[in-house]
Amino acid sequence: MHILMLTPSLPYPPQQGGAIRNYGIIKGLHAAGHYITLLSFHDRNGLQANVTPLTKYCTRIETVPPPTRTLVNRLRDLIFSGQPDLARRLHSPQFADCLRHLLAENRYDLVQFEGLEMAAYLPLVRHSQPEARLIYDAHNAEYALQKAIFQVDRGTIYRWLAAGYSLVQSQRITRFEGYICQHADQVIAVSDEDAAALGMFRSDGDIGIVPNGIHISDYVPTAERLDLGKHALVFTGKMDYRPNVDAMDWFAEAILPLVLAQIPDTRLYIVGQKPHARLEKLREKPYIEITGWVQDIQPFLYATTVYIAPLRMGSGTRLKILEAMAAGQAIVATVTAASGLNAPTDTIIIADNAEDMAGAIVALLQDTERREQIGERAHEYVKQHYDWSVLIPRLLAIYKGLGLG
């Protein structure tokens, strides 16, 4: 089968959410014998696509520089376009031209749009190649995510402007995401919760489910270990992403002081690229380190004492949690962070308010044996349920349901 995949960034290196999922799908589809053309946004001054492992899995790779959107552009679209920011974020005449060229030169059995930003190009593909099957792979139920952001931000006075923006965006995304779900031949969600949220947009309610996954074999500790201290808390993620920023803001203000009161040498490591300006105030605290971009997060995962996921907003299956589980770490997470995982209670600790989360963290920091037991069970659970060797057959079954082999 000939497949065209559209991704918002080159899915290599597979270090952050969407890239991990997209890379896993590409690798798995190649192993299943399919031919993949990849069209991605990518800064050509950076890593060249032709020197990555993607060349082993794709028959053709085309990249286009990401568009530059100024604050003026965004304000203009907010006032005059009526479209959500997500629909305009990757609007690029150059990308559209490249896509038209590929569609004119080749006949694809399937075109897969990775995320709502890429689904903005669905009408173009439908017009250019109406016989191709179109799949929207929803990395999040975006309208639900924006509603959750609004609910959190409205509770803080200095975030009211941001809350108003999220309210407007949630309404616009609802219309746009609904249109995409109605016009795609199939929609894929990453969790039961997201499938239920997106099912309202389709007359048959049919939403396929393929959770986020990882290659469990990639998570092997090395002999050399980072020394983060005896009581190290680690959080990983793209640090300009609003749910991650909110999580660290809340944790540093409401939870970490409670932990420090009982274990003063606790240290928090915030690991991830593009730290948002809202987090700058945390750099002043001697017990918090913001690393920025790192080449590999695994050394931090293996050096952590307790991994934390204090997310108050978001949807989908948290790849950050899958990675920490694969690394055999004990995790304390909110209900929101753990949603979609269906993880047994002996593989992850759930705490949903500041006092409970602090208490759970302190208890784990003081109990090495319990941490190790939870980590071992977590590793085995991910291996059985979230390795790509388990998930790719589920994706292929969805294709088969569309009459594709």
* Model confidence pLDDT, tens digit, residues 15-25: 888 899 999 99
Where residue 126 sits, what CATH number does that domain have?
3.40.50.2000
Same domain, 103 and 32: yes
**Residue-level pLDDT at 342:** 86
3-class secondary-structure state, position 234? strand
Q: Do residues 237 and 294 share a domain?
A: yes
pLDDT of amino acid 71: 77
Residue 207 and residue 284 share a domain: no
- Is there a single domain that holds both residue 202 and residue 106? yes
Positions in the chain short of pLDDT 50: none
Helices (H), 32-159: 54-57, 71-80, 85-89, 93-105, 116-119, 122-128, 142-153
In a shared domain, residues 85 and 223: no
Same domain, 243 and 346: yes
Q: Is the peptide bond before 67 cis (omega within 30 degrees of 0)?
A: no
Asked if 290 contacts 239 with a C-beta cutoff of 8 angstroms, the reply is yes
Pair (191, 335) in one structural domain: no
Q: Give the per-residue pLDDT at 316.
A: 59
For residues 167 and 278, membership in a common domain is answered with: no
What's the pLDDT at 47?
A: 75
203 shares its domain with 241 = no
The domain of 6 spans 2-213+388-401
207/265 same-domain check:
no
Sign of the CA dihedral 25, 177, 316, 197?
negative
What pLDDT sits at residue 79? 77
Q: What is the pLDDT of residue 399?
A: 97
User: Does residue 18 sit in the same domain as residue 90?
Assistant: yes
| Tokens coding 232 | 């190290």
Cα 225–chain centre separation: 27
What is the distance in angstroms between the CA of the first residue and the CA of the last residue of the chain?
A: 7
What's the confidence (pLDDT) of residue 283? Answer: 94
pTM for the full predicted model: 0.88
Verify that 205 and 224 share a domain, yes or no: no
